[in-house]
Amino acid sequence: MSQAIQISEYGGPDVLRLVDVAVGDPGPGQVRVRHHACGINFIDVYQRTGLYQNPLPLIPGGEGAGVVEAVGEGVTHLAAGDRVAYAAPKPGSYCQARLMDALHVCRLPDEIDFETGAAMMLKGLTVNYLLLRTLPVEGLAPGDTILFHAAAGGVGLIACQWAKALGFELIGTAGSDEKCALAKEYGAAHMINYRSENFVDRVKEITGGKGVKVVYDSVGKDTFEGSLNCLRPFGLMAVFGNASGAVPPFAPNTLAAKGSLYLTRPTLFTHLSTRERTQAMADELFEVVRNGTVKIRIDQRYPLAQAAQAHRDLEARRTTGCSVLLA
């Protein structure tokens, strides 16, 4: 048995309920993981509200770290007792223990603790595929300027550090002076408080009117049009989230009028489609965390039973860095 946070209907944070669930033994290609900590991400809100629909009842969450209790037939890269962490395409991490496909589960290096492992996998692998694999047609080179929205959040603070290590000049946005200062502390070259400044005007000022090569945008509806206006010709708009709501339909001719722009809506699990690629990207993430290039900042910790409060804080933008549930 395992305690878990479950929803039986879509809605606000109050639909998150603590229940007891049976776990069982792993089948072929599966493992049973006993969690020490579970990551909290905005995609979990989409699962709760039904923006991303899944069969109900549903245990949300796609990120966690713990110990393998049992492995199913055909699993060769893991064994019972292994310390592991994962980002998974199927929800189910808001619990003490779960069965899951082994494909996305990676052995966690001894130097990385469980809370860090739980907080970094989905967010760190997201930054990996954005900065290393979601690139403008002209590529990115040291000295190039990029725009990254929500730069003081869990994904954003990792991006600030990794971008600096790659030599990119990251312009970030955040909703308070305190959050702007935090992102600059973590490597952002410039920060814009979008509540007190027009981010399009500031980006043009910072870049001498040229604009940026790429915008990485997890906000969605509220920033989409402005982000397009920040791009230089042949620039790339990478929308990887919908924190303010989904981007409404628009005319493709808009991209032509603004300078032959490119638009993509990438997802992490397209990149993690094979065991080999999952491990390769995880190894790249583990290396930058182990060598200190990227530090995983965890500012919010909640008991599993307080998942609803965690969602309230996340949606109210009261959080910085990463948040975890302690199982």
* Residue pLDDT tens, the chain, 327 long: 899 999 999 999 999 999 999 999 999 999 999 999 999 998 999 999 998 899 999 999 999 999 999 999 999 999 999 999 999 999 999 999 999 999 999 999 999 999 999 999 999 999 999 999 999 999 999 999 999 999 999 999 999 999 999 999 999 999 999 999 999 999 999 999 999 999 999 999 999 999 999 999 999 899 999 999 999 999 999 999 888 888 889 899 999 999 999 999 999 999 999 999 999 999 999 999 999 999 999 999 999 999 999 999 999 989 988 999 999
CATH of domain 135-265: 3.40.50.720
Closest CA to 65 of 281, 268, 286: 286
Tell me the domain boundaries of the chain.
2-122+274-326, 135-265
| Token code pair at residue 196 | 């007190």
Q: Would you state the pLDDT for residue 213?
A: 98
CA distance 251 to 259: 14
Q: What does CATH list as the number for 2-122+274-326?
A: 3.90.180.10
Q: What is the pLDDT of residue 220?
A: 87
State the Cα–Cα distance between residues 5 and 23, nearest whole angstrom: 14
**Residue 156 Ramachandran class (φ > 0 left, ψ -120 to 50 alpha, else beta):** alpha
pLDDT at position 112:
97
Q: Can you tell me which residue has the tokens 């990227």?
A: 294
Give the C-alpha separation, 88 to 94, whole Å: 12
pLDDT at 242: 83
pLDDT for the residue 91: 96
- Of the candidates 185, 43, 35, the one whose C-alpha atom is nearest the C-alpha of residue 115 is 35
Decide if 2-122+274-326 and 135-265 have a common fold.
no
Selection from 176, 181, 232 nearest residue 204 by Cα: 232
Q: Give the C-alpha separation, 269 to 260, whole Å.
A: 28
pLDDT on residue 70 = 98
Inter-axis angle of helices 42-49 and 307-315, nearest 10 = 110
